[in-house]
Amino acid sequence: MKKIALSGAGGQLGSVVRKALLARDIPLRSAAGSRALTPLVDGEDVMHGDLRDPAVVDRLLEGVDVLIHFAGTSVERPLPEIIENNLRGLVEVYEGARRHGVRRVVFASSNHAIGMYPVTEHLSLDCALRPDGFYGLSKVWGESLARMYWDKHGIESVCVRIGSCLERPTEPRHLSTWFGHKDLMHFLDRCIEAEDVGFTVIWGVSANKRSWWDNRGAEHLGYQPQQDAEVYAAEILAAPNPLDALGQRYQGGSFVGLDYSRDDIDSDASGAAAGRSK
């Protein structure tokens, strides 16, 4: 059975994935950042540390077949923090994968790599990237880094542009962007078990009737989502939309309004920082 490493195991998604993989008795090494993890089962392989440190990366990746890389800054932050956590840290992770012969990396990219597209556009996997901030820009860079390590070093990567990964959708935007937890785990199963993935980019989204994103071109991964946010549509649409006019206009939602200086927005756009939903 393949040995799996999970970085960012103490985060929102990492916690969900960690618990689910352990429940399946999958050999797992879980890593957090500055705070140590409390083992969930007897003998669980846990660690923590700064992934900019090669020694920490070596501890994470020794004997590992597949890395699920969910670590890093996951919201819009000042550029120096983004560079340290999402660029420098990612280079150390891929260099570690190279040292230890890790076959495959699942890289958590983001819908914020394309957040400046209007909600009226439907996107294919080969669409031009249009990040909505420094966080989204770091994911554009990360996808290119993963491409380079496949081309030059043969390390496979699945770059998943995660939508709104929640147990259930809660606002109108999620009717298009929801990535249900059941579909997330099915997706990760395919990332672990698929024979050959090379360099693959895929939308991390469920089978939503209102989805903006088309996964044709990634069929070789075998991802077949079953969840659909439309089940919750009537309830969601009966409540107020928490996004301002700008957030409702663009696929990146509330991230778009952060440090937005054009004069083509309604007066309420300054409130976009209030609800940074993923």
- Domain spans of the chain, in order of start: 4-230
**62 token code pair:** 């020794």
Distance separating alpha carbons of residues 129 and 159, to the nearest angstrom: 13
| Mean pLDDT of each 10-residue bin along the chain, 278 residues long | 95 97 96 94 96 98 98 96 97 98 98 98 98 98 98 98 98 98 98 97 98 97 98 98 98 97 65 43
Cα separation, 223 vs 215, whole angstroms:
9
Which parts of 10-73 are beta strand (E)? 28-32, 45-48, 66-69
pLDDT of residue 272: 37
Task: List the one residue out of 160, 156, 164 whose CA is nearest residue 180.
Answer: 164
Q: What is the DSSP letter of 274?
A: G
Active site residues: 135
Looking at residue 274, its pLDDT comes to 35
Query: Is this prediction's pTM over 0.85?
Result: yes
At 273 the pLDDT is: 38
CATH topology of domain 4-230: Rossmann fold (3.40.50)
pLDDT of res. 5: 98
Check residue 1 and give its pLDDT. 82
Q: Do 262 and 230 touch, CB atoms closer than 8 A?
A: no
